[in-house]
Structure 1
């Protein structure tokens, strides 16, 4: 939205969520409020599910007519948006000692999962776009803040934040489904898992599904391990490796850019030779670390580091060659212009 457009251009529901919508001057005994309407709607959703929420049902619970509600919340879609905003709440605050980015993302993942576990009706609401209400935005803000000190770009930080949100929603939907099934049948979590395992055991044969059969025999459906947490943690492992990798690469690019700037004005060929020589000397110096004899893991790691250094050196040589190419082209253009 253009910064010069008036705030009244915001959709009514979003304006209400941000507290910038005008409230009616007249109402039934001035006892009605948007907050009371939303609270009553959430009570209905908690008890009967989101499908039971309607303007008439909320009005009845509050003891007013539906028309009284429309003075405050003009459409059911706006009411659903406000319910989602209230039920989502705010992310947990950062502790006194600010955690590392991974610990903070794990904390947000668990907290979001708990929101979906407590308010499972949130999972039945359609996703119509990016979160634009205060509380929903605060969850994204918390993830982005956790990643602020990393070497990720803004696009990458947002993608990592959505990894947390998506994984929490998926896990929350599964847990909520199991809880609903357990309540309906009077079973606890362990009993639901046992029942599920027996069903699989009945229909899955080794001939038709040999790998799934092996997993069933290993007890995966009754295991105490959480497969969703395992998957999320491995996702964070990959993110950690990526952050480390791009951190080294981007630090190397910054160093190369600084060296290229210092080399401006030097002779093209001599500059290239000098750059290659200094790079080779640096690689040789960096590769002179003491390595324990007979340790294959350390040796493998060292080979990987050497390969990375070689790639960086090649990238630097290529960048210098392209710089010389651009300089040569500029000089050729200048000579052609003088001839004219």
Structure 2
């Protein structure tokens, strides 16, 4: 990225990437963007995101708000940098299989959210273009290394897993806040609420929910989110099996259907579409042959090692 492009970056993004110009005035020796962000994160951890303002952070540091504005010019930029600091960078995502790596990625991301639960309260307005966010996305995509999935499918699945971790962490954080406010443990609060729900839910009005409550499912004490994650992984496994059988192409995001039937009916378009379908079929056959060749090569290598 050249200097002109750097100048066009939003201030918060430029600060996150460390390419923003330093202020010309202000208490440089005592103040820094990092110190301001650390103080804001500490404030949010202690009192919640609503307590964070430029004035509150300045007071925590013993400076005037104007001193902060020389370093971070808007509260939105401060919140962006707080989020970046709170989620940190992903730990090594390890595992012998893609499934183990995906679980490790999900659990690490959920732990990062829960370590600073106010992050979950931030509205999702798109992909955050900051270094740590990019590192998490990269780790989520890399978890699928060694599979037949194309880059587009890996990106899509990374977003799915990130969303599930975000939602699961949000529910978990809400349960914890409720327990802290009541002065009781999470399990105790959950059991009390389950008992209340059991008294209110009748088999006539809510037959399926009543049956689940009667079976003790709401108070089982197990991880309520792991089952859903496992089913997501089962679906990915099924998709990979279909790729293995040559039923779908590895680069798997569907193309949008034509909005104009007349275009689809055009003779040249139909001929081109037929060519695409034949090419896809040939690609699936080639991918299957490649995987078979790799397996055979691996077997030969293993036999040679053990000979």
State TM-score, norm by structure 1: 0.71
Matches within 5 A, 1:203-242: 203-242=200-239
Q: Any idea what SS the aligned residue of 2:245 has?
A: helix
Is 2:184 aligned against 1:193? no
Aligned partners of 2:214 and 2:286: how far apart in 1? 58
Runs of 4+ in 1 over 2 A off after TM superposition: 2-6, 250-258
Inter-partner Cα distance in structure 2 for 1:224 and 1:21 = 49
The correspondence for 1:254, drawn from 266, 278, 283, is 283
Shift of 1:111: 1.1
User: 1:213-238 deviations in whole A, cap 9, x for unaligned?
Assistant: 11000111111222211001111011
CA distance in 1, matches of 2:193, 2:284: 57
Q: 1:78 to 1:245 in 2, by over 3 A?
A: same
* Shift in CA distance, 204/256, structure 1 to aligned 2, threshold 3 Å: closer
What are the within-5 Å matches in structure 2 for residues 1-340 of structure 1? Answer: 5-28=4-27, 30-95=29-94, 99-249=96-246, 250=249, 253-254=282-283, 256=285
Summarize the Cα distance change of 1:54–1:253 in structure 2 as closer, same or farther, 3 Å threshold: same
Q: Is the 2:187–2:221 Cα contact (8 Å) retained in structure 1? A: no
Alignment partners' CA distance in 2, 1:255 and 1:79: 49
Normalising by structure 2, we get a TM-score of 0.79
Which stretches in structure 1 are left out of the alignment for 5+ residues?
259-340
- 8 Å CA contact 2:93–2:105 kept in 1: the answer is no
1:29 Cα deviation from its structure 2 partner: 5.4
What CA distance in whole angstroms lies between the structure 1 residues aligned with 2:28 and 2:103? 47
Give the match for residue 273 of structure 1.
none
Between the aligned partners of 1:3 and 1:58, the Cα distance in structure 2 is 34
1:153 Cα deviation after fit: 2.0
Task: Indicate conservation of the 8 Å contact 2:58/2:68, yes or no.
Answer: yes
**1:99 to 1:201, Cα distance in 2 relative to 1, 3 A:** same
Between structure 1 and structure 2, the one with the greater Rg is 1
Which sections of structure 2, spanning at least 5 residues, go unmatched? 251-280, 288-307
- Partners in 1 of 2:22 and 2:209 — Cα distance? 58
Partner Cα distance (2:63, 2:40) in 1: 14
Larger helix percent: 1
Kindly state the Cα deviation for residue 199 of structure 1 after the two structures are TM-superposed: 1.3
Query: How many residues were matched structurally?
Result: 255
Report SS of the residue matched to 2:225.
helix
1:174-222: CA deviations, max 9, x gaps?
1000000000001112101111111111110111111111100011111
- 1:238 aligned counterpart, secondary structure: helix
- CA positional deviation for 1:137: 0.9
